Amino acid sequence: MTVSTARRRLGSRTAALTGSGPDVLERLGRARVLVVGAGGLGAPVVAYLAGSGLGRLTIVDDDVVDGSNLARQTLFTTADVGVAKAEVAAARARAVDPELDVVAVVGRFRPEHVAGHDVVVDAADAVDVTRAISDACAPLGIPFVWGTVLAYDGQVSVFRDAGDDGVDFHDLHPEVLPDEGSCAVDGVLPALCGAVGSVMAAQVTALVAGLGDPLLGRLLTVDARRWRWTESPIRRGPASRRPTGLPAGAAGAAAAGGPAPAAPRIAPAALAARLANPADTLTLVDVRTPEEWATGVIAGSVHGDAVLPDGDVVVTCARGPRADAWARTVGRPVTVLDGGIDAWRREGRPLTLE
C-alpha cells in the first residue's frame, strides 16, 4: 500500500525508531483495530491509536460523557457531557488523522463486532465483557489486549487463544466471579488510567507492526502507590478449562467459543412504571456493596442474599456487569436493569437512603 505524505509526517517519529521504517507505517495502515470501551482506559487508548496511522478504528461504548469522567477520560470536555462517548471519541480520532476510517458503535459489545478486525482492545474494565470478548476472539485466533484499573492498582496483558502456547482470560481468572469494587466507590487515580491505557495502546502497535514484544502470556501489574511494575507469567496448565457452573445455554456458548448470553434488560422508565403499579409483585434486587447502598437505592430493593419470593425478579448493580453475573447464578429467569443505578440516576429518578 502507498502511505500518503500526511501520514508519513504523522508517523515520522514512529518510523525513526530502531527496527522500524516505512514498512512499519504500511503495516499500521493495513491494521483494523476494535476498541471496546471509551472510558478511563479507552480514552488514552483511542488518543494514542488515533495518531498511529491505522487503517480502521472501531470504537464500541454504550455510555455518555458525565462530568465525573473528565478528570481521567481526557478525550472529553465539559462541552461533551451528555453525548455518547463512542461518537465523541470517534470525532477526536478523525480530527487527529482525517485519513483514518473510524466507526463509532453506540451500544454494548456483541461478539459479531470482533469479525473483520486484527486486534481487539478490551478497555471496558468489566469482567463479563472481558469473558465475552475472550470467547469471541478465541475461535478466530484474534489477539486481544486487556487492562484494568481500580484505586491505585492496574494490570495489562495480551491474550490469544491459538497454538500450543495460547492463553486466554479464562486461564488468568478461571472462576466466574462478578466485578469486585468500582471506581465510583473505591476511586481511581486519574493518571493511572493514562499509564495503563498507554501500555495497552503500545500492545496494539507491537502486535500489528512488531514495535516491541507484546505481553502475550505475561501479566504486567502496577502499584501506583509506589509506582512499582511487576511481571508474572500466565500459562495454560494441563488442567486448564473453561469455567464450569454456567447455565446450559451459556455453557454451550462457551464451549462453542461464544460468550454466555446476557440476561434480558429493562429500561429505567419501564422499571419505574412497574414499581409504581401496586398490583405488580416484582422483586428488585440490588447486588451493590453496602458502601454503594449508602449512596442511595431504589425504594423497595433487597440485597442479593435475600430469599426471593415467586414472581418476576429484576436485578441491578452500578452499571450492569455484576447484575449479569448474579443473574447467571440464581437459577431462575432474571431481568437486569439496563445501565444499572447509573442509568437510573442519569434519568433523574429517585433514590432513597438506607
From 43, 132, 156, 183, active-site residue: 183
Give me the sheet containing 335-337, strands edge to edge. Answer: 265-266, 335-337, 313-316, 283-286, 302-303
Task: Please answer whether residues 100 and 93 qualify as being in contact, where contact means their C-beta atoms are separated by less than 8 angstroms.
Answer: yes
User: Taking Cα atoms as reference points, which of 188, 153, 191 lies closest to residue 44?
Assistant: 191
Residue 183 designated active-site? yes
From 33, 199, 206, 317, active-site residue: 317
Q: For the chain, how many residues are written? A: 354
- Known catalytic residues? 183, 317
